Amino acid sequence: MTLTHDTVCGLRAAVALVNSAEEPQTLRTVEELDDWYADQGYTGRRDGDQAELQALHALRPVLRELLTSDRDRAAELVNGLLAEARAVPQLRRHDGLDWHIHAVPADAPLDRRVAVETAMAVIDLIRADELSRLSVCADERCEGLVLDLSRNRSRRYCSTTCANRNAVAAYRARRSGDAS
Ligand SMILES: [Zn+2]
Ligand SMILES: [Zn+2]
């Protein structure tokens, strides 16, 4: 499966946004939102106020549902999000980025652009029947989302913290097994 650069960016940004609601919470302040925005390569309008931050917080459960739904439900949710935002896909080239799709104007509120950007990215996963690239973290105490774009589909944990914790637990289990 080959996903375009903007699809990969859209999925990564959405997963990071949803996971920011997990403990320890991130994206609690406008400054943390600045970091997310810069890290995820978003461009366009930024209000930099509490209202914008809260709109993104409110978007997290919406995106979580989209990214964890089965294919038919995800298709319904994508259609709903695009209709609600009155999305009109347009090819754009800007800031050194080659032709890619923007479906809402760059001056639309950030939460609406993130919703549409995510919906557009999920379209590619639905069409390629690759929604299995998204899962919930294999750590039993963690609800973080995992985006696995690796060739051998080896990613099971949302973060290195979760991966390490489980590696240590598995090691201890093996050790205590050896001792008995
Ligand atoms: Zn762009
Ligand atoms: Zn996790």
Say what the pTM is. Answer: 0.92
Ligand 1 centroid – CA 163 distance (Å): 33
**Residue-range domain boundaries for the chain:** 5-178
Q: Which pLDDT tens digit goes with each residue over 32-42?
A: 999 999 999 88
Question: Per the CATH hierarchy, to which homologous superfamily does domain 5-178 belong?
Answer: Jann2411-like domain (1.10.3300.10)
Ligand 1 centroid – CA 97 distance (Å): 7
Ligand 2 centroid – CA 168 distance (Å): 14
Ligand 2 centroid – CA 69 distance (Å): 18
Picking from 83-87, 154-158, 163-167, 176-180, which range would have the lowest pLDDT averaged per residue? 176-180
Which residues lie below 8 Å from residue 4, measured CB to CB, with a gap of 6+?
A: 100, 124
Ligand 2 centroid – CA 103 distance (Å): 31
